[in-house]
Amino acid sequence: MSVSIKDIARISGVSTATVSRALSDPERVSEKARKAVMEAVQTHGYRVNSHARSLRRQRADAVLAVVPHLGNPFFSTILSGVEFELQQAGVDLLVADSRASDRGGRSVFAHLHASRVDGLICLDGNLPACAQQELSQPDVAERVVFACEWMPDANFPSVRSDNRAGGRLAVEHLLELGHRDFVFMAGPRENILTAERLAGVQEAMVKAGLSLPDDRIKGQDFTLEEGFAAAEWLAALSPRPTAVVCASDQIAIGLMAGLAQQGLSVPNDVSVVGFDDIAIAAYANPSLTTIRQDRIGLGRSAARMLLARIDGTAPEHKGLCTLPVTLMKRASTGAVPA
Amino acid sequence: MSVSIKDIARISGVSTATVSRALSDPERVSEKARKAVMEAVQTHGYRVNSHARSLRRQRADAVLAVVPHLGNPFFSTILSGVEFELQQAGVDLLVADSRASDRGGRSVFAHLHASRVDGLICLDGNLPACAQQELSQPDVAERVVFACEWMPDANFPSVRSDNRAGGRLAVEHLLELGHRDFVFMAGPRENILTAERLAGVQEAMVKAGLSLPDDRIKGQDFTLEEGFAAAEWLAALSPRPTAVVCASDQIAIGLMAGLAQQGLSVPNDVSVVGFDDIAIAAYANPSLTTIRQDRIGLGRSAARMLLARIDGTAPEHKGLCTLPVTLMKRASTGAVPA
DNA sequence: CTGAAAGCGCTTACAG
DNA sequence: CTGAAAGCGCTTACAG
């Protein structure tokens, strides 16, 4: 057993109430009492028991981040932003994998009901229907913020990148280089990011008097494998499209590896644009032109938004925060082949 | 306020003790009582308050993972393995960034003292001295497991890859290809992984009658930037070494990007070996020969080891678990240039 | 099988 | 400024 507030009270010759006050609001206590308490705390290494405090205060000082797949490095940077803000606020970060937890049968959101956490940051926009329903209960809904992805049918507060603008920027860049014949490498079709980025691509094409036929939309995952697999298909098209906009950098890097294997040169035969600007994008061969998302900012903003909701300090908050994206011009895009 | 055990007791016409038993040990309760309780629980959406339970049981059912830098995608896969095991055991995962938390001045290990978590998985082998001391206190030490990295001076239970064998495998592969003149791209010099991998490299070289002079050890970080920066140096060496063993895939990929810029071909001019086998390694251009670590396995094993320590079910546990590594032969290594 | 009661370790009105 | 006391929501010997 470790030392408790009773021990400290006894040792420093005051009541537990005074110990509690000395620790959480030192101003409210005489200097003498404060010193006695602080010394006892120091020498005996006392720490407030977090469960007792949380139980009494009815506040967990903790937040849960729900991630579609923890193993996907894309999310760790967002989590890093979340952690940064929470840590500043003295709030703990719990992490759960939304897919893994489904296996166990126990809902990720049990934590919220169990008062284990004060709120939820959800990075998964494709929750199963039952989870969506749980989330929508009034006492739950007010403690949830979506980051990166979101659920289009619901209306939760959300922090996201301007995915549509990203799609547009990619196409506009390629149009400037003279490209007219595009392919869009999609992520999962039901994923909102896929939809938004594709919408941006189409907007920019329409504006240029072009259109993107269905058979120029390929792929169904954000993965390296999916990009790699598409290279063979692309190489066999005739006439061959000269530019590919990918819904993720992973797809783009996989695609470039596949194209190299097909004997096609990037950007001489095909230009490739990614999405995300993961760290490795700048070091790909060729370096990858891509749409930069501010993933740290996504995480930080979501954490701040949630904290404000929990405190009730931002009831007038917009509930929607859209972060700008940037085109990073690199070596994977070039003039349309002659 | 949400519904409490008292409410369920009243509604189902039994005592709180019976509700508690019905929930945590249904066998111990009559079928009639069990049914009444379960129904009330269902219809009112009752969940046990985790703080009350933890306070009473003196167990948090949660574990803290301390990561050197959450933003580094390398760790997310390990965390994913940790989460998988914990989730199966019904234990929560808290995550903290060891560097970020130092900033706040509050020790990461405060959680342990505050009973907030039952144990700690530490992925950071280079903790500041004060943290090391905290960790070494007997009541803390028995609840700590190191994963991936470790502290050579202390003697905590630890799960790690066979880094030394990895270094050896890399060199042996290159020796077979005819290489004799090596460079080792190191991580941080005080990092134990750097030391072990380098030791393996040297062992294999010595065995082949070679040695690695100090001026053939370059770099001080596991990053892309560090690898990229080394390319210029390498290109200027005369005679130029023909093979580079890198302490991480990130270094290797950065280096390959730099070498391309220097007009050098991998593997025709220089062979490159990485370490880790991150997902992108297979899709680098050229695809990266590397030493595969089982990062999921690292995380899972560490979680299991910690859980066993907490339960006290494995007092005779070895306390050291070394996972094998594998050489992944790909396109970045080839015969020594004529 | 069941209930009354104590107690886990705090915090916070309430009095003084 | 301080203390006695109630109570946060559970679990678990202890009796029956």
Measure, in angstroms, how far nucleotide C2 C1' is from residue B6 CA: 16
Strand C proximity list, CB < 7 Å? A 1, 4-6, 16-17, 19-21, 23-24, 46-49, 52-53, 55-57; B 13-18, 21, 27-30, 32-33, 52, 55-56, 58
Q: What is the DSSP string of B244-297?
A: EEESSHHHHHHHHHHHHHTT--TTTT-EEEEEE--GGGGGSSSPPEEEE--HHH
Shortest CA distance from B81: residue in chain A: A71
Query: First-to-last CA distance in chain A?
Result: 78
Cβ(A24)–Cβ(A10) under 8 Å?
no
Mind listing the pLDDT tens digit for each residue in A269-301? 999 999 999 999 999 999 999 999 999 999 999
Domain identity same for A31 and A66: no
* Residue B322: closest CA among B298, B303, B304: B298
Dist. CA A151–CA A158, nearest whole Å:
9
Q: Is the pLDDT assigned to residue B164 strictly greater than 50?
A: yes
Domain identity same for B156 and B167: no
Q: What is the DSSP string of A142-167?
A: TTEEEESS--TTS---EEEE-HHHHH
State the best of A4, A285, A330, A332 to mutate against chain B, taking most chain B CBs within 10 Å.
Answer: A285
Cβ(A269)–Cβ(A256) under 8 Å?
no
Between these two residues, B301 and B154, which has the higher pLDDT value? B301
Encoded tokens for B21 = 């038993």
* Angstrom distances, CA of residue A255 to CA of A163, B35, B237: 21, 57, 35
Whether residue A248 is contained in a domain is answered as yes
Q: Is the pLDDT assigned to residue A50 strictly greater than 80?
A: yes
Q: Is the pLDDT assigned to residue A220 strictly greater than 50?
A: yes
- What's the pLDDT band for A255 if we cut at 50, 70, 90? very high
Mode of pairing for the β-strands spanning A320-323 and A271-276: unpaired
DSSP code of B337? P
* Residue B310: closest CA among B94, B85, B84, B117: B117
Q: Is the pLDDT assigned to residue B104 strictly greater than 50?
A: no
Mind listing the pLDDT tens digit for each residue in B119-149? 999 999 998 888 888 888 888 888 999 999 9
Dist. CA B163–CA B161, nearest whole Å:
5
Encoded tokens for A282 = 């700048």
pLDDT at A102: 54
Dist. CA A169–CA A274, nearest whole Å:
11
- What's the pLDDT band for B47 if we cut at 50, 70, 90? very high
pLDDT at B32: 92
Contact B94 A62 (CB under 8 A): yes
Strands ordered across the beta sheet of A182-185: A217-218, A182-185, A243-246, A271-276, A289-292, A326-328
Whether residue B69 is contained in a domain is answered as yes
Contact B224 A279 (CB under 8 A): yes
Encoded tokens for B159 = 């799960």
Domain identity same for A168 and A287: yes
- Write phi, then psi, for B88 (nearest 5 degrees): -60, -35
Dist. CA A63–CA B226, nearest whole Å:
35
Question: Looking up tokens 């840590």, which residue turns up?
Answer: A87
pLDDT at A257: 98
Domain identity same for B167 and B248: yes
Over residues B300-319, mean pLDDT: 84
Which chain B residues have a beta carbon less than 8 Å from that of A76?
A: 70-73, 75-76, 79
Encoded tokens for A174 = 């390629």
Between these two residues, B1 and B231, which has the higher pLDDT value? B231
- Identify nearest nucleotide to residue A20 by CA to C1′ distance: C11
Whether residue A220 is contained in a domain is answered as yes
Q: Is the pLDDT assigned to residue B316 strictly greater than 70?
A: no
- What's the pLDDT band for A98 if we cut at 50, 70, 90? confident
Lowest mean pLDDT among B152-166, B287-301, B311-325: B311-325
**Which of 117-136 (A) contact B at CB < 8 A?**
none
Q: Domain containing A11 — which CATH number?
A: 1.10.260.40
- What's the pLDDT band for A61 if we cut at 50, 70, 90? very high
Cβ(A167)–Cβ(A193) under 8 Å?
no
pLDDT at B99: 80
Question: Looking up tokens 């009270």, which residue turns up?
Answer: A9
Contact A47 B110 (CB under 8 A): yes
Say if residue A141 is exposed, middle or buried (CB neighbours under 10 Å; 0-12, 13-18, 19+): middle
Cis amide linkage into residue B286, ω under 30° from 0: yes
Q: What is the DSSP string of B123-170?
A: --S---HHHHHHHHSHHHHTTEEEESS--TTS---EEEE-HHHHHHHH
Domain identity same for A169 and A269: yes
Whether residue B310 is contained in a domain is answered as yes
Which nucleotides of strand C lie within 7 A of protein CB?
Answer: 1-5, 7-13
Q: Is the pLDDT assigned to residue B89 strictly greater than 70?
A: yes
Mind listing the pLDDT tens digit for each residue in A116-137? 999 999 999 998 888 888 888 8
Strands ordered across the beta sheet of B62-67: A320-323, A158-161, A144-147, A119-122, A62-67, A92-97, B92-97, B62-67, B119-122, B144-147, B158-161, B320-323
Mind listing the pLDDT tens digit for each residue in B197-245? 999 999 999 999 999 999 999 999 999 999 999 999 999 999 999 999 9
DSSP code of B106? S
pLDDT at B281: 97
- Residue A136 CA to chain centroid, in angstroms? 20
Q: Is the pLDDT assigned to residue A24 strictly greater than 80?
A: yes
Dist. CA A248–CA A274, nearest whole Å:
5
pLDDT at B130: 81
Cβ(B54)–Cβ(B115) under 8 Å?
yes
Cβ-based neighbour number of residue B199 at 10 Å: 14
* Residue B298: closest CA among B82, B102, B91: B82
Query: First-to-last CA distance in chain B?
Result: 78
Q: Is the pLDDT assigned to residue A311 strictly greater than 90?
A: no
Over residues B36-50, mean pLDDT: 93
Whether residue A83 is contained in a domain is answered as yes
Domain residues for the domain of B75 are 60-161+296-323
Over residues B157-186, mean pLDDT: 98
Lowest mean pLDDT among A128-142, A200-214, B58-72: A128-142
Q: Is the pLDDT assigned to residue B109 strictly greater than 80?
A: no
Over residues A221-238, mean pLDDT: 97
pLDDT over 70 for what percent of chain B? 96
Dist. CA B263–CA B42, nearest whole Å:
68
- Identify nearest nucleotide to residue B49 by CA to C1′ distance: D9
Over residues B104-129, mean pLDDT: 82
pLDDT at B103: 46
Residue nearest to nucleotide D7 (CA to C1'): A56
Domain identity same for B31 and B153: no
Whether residue B213 is contained in a domain is answered as yes
Q: Which residues contact A76 (CB under 8 A, 6 or more apart)?
A: B70, B71, B72, B73, B75, B76, B79
Sign for the CA dihedral angle at B212, B213, B215, B219 comes to positive
Encoded tokens for B242 = 């023909």
pLDDT over 90 for what percent of chain A? 82
What residue type is assigned to position B78 of the chain? I
Q: Is the pLDDT assigned to residue B314 strictly greater than 80?
A: no
Domain identity same for A64 and A151: yes
Mode of pairing for the β-strands spanning B243-246 and B158-161: unpaired
- What's the pLDDT band for B1 if we cut at 50, 70, 90? low
- What's the pLDDT band for A188 if we cut at 50, 70, 90? very high
Mind listing the pLDDT tens digit for each residue in B11-22? 999 999 999 999
Q: Domain containing B179 — which CATH number?
A: 3.40.50.2300
- What's the pLDDT band for A104 if we cut at 50, 70, 90? very low
Domain identity same for B131 and B250: no
A57 touches chain B (CB under 8 A): no
Residue nearest to nucleotide D13 (CA to C1'): B17
Domain identity same for B277 and B174: yes
Domain identity same for B157 and B302: yes
Domain identity same for B191 and B284: yes
* Angstrom distances, CA of residue A332 to CA of A219, A244, A249: 20, 10, 12
Looking at the structure of chain B, the number of domains it has is 3
- What's the pLDDT band for A317 if we cut at 50, 70, 90? low
Whether residue A179 is contained in a domain is answered as yes
Domain identity same for B279 and B174: yes
Dist. CA B243–CA B255, nearest whole Å:
12
Angle between helices A31-44 and A5-12 (to 10 degrees): 120
3-class SS of residue A64: strand
Whether residue A333 is contained in a domain is answered as no
pLDDT at A134: 82
Supply the mean pLDDT for chain A: 93
Supply the mean pLDDT for chain B: 93
A303 touches chain B (CB under 8 A): no
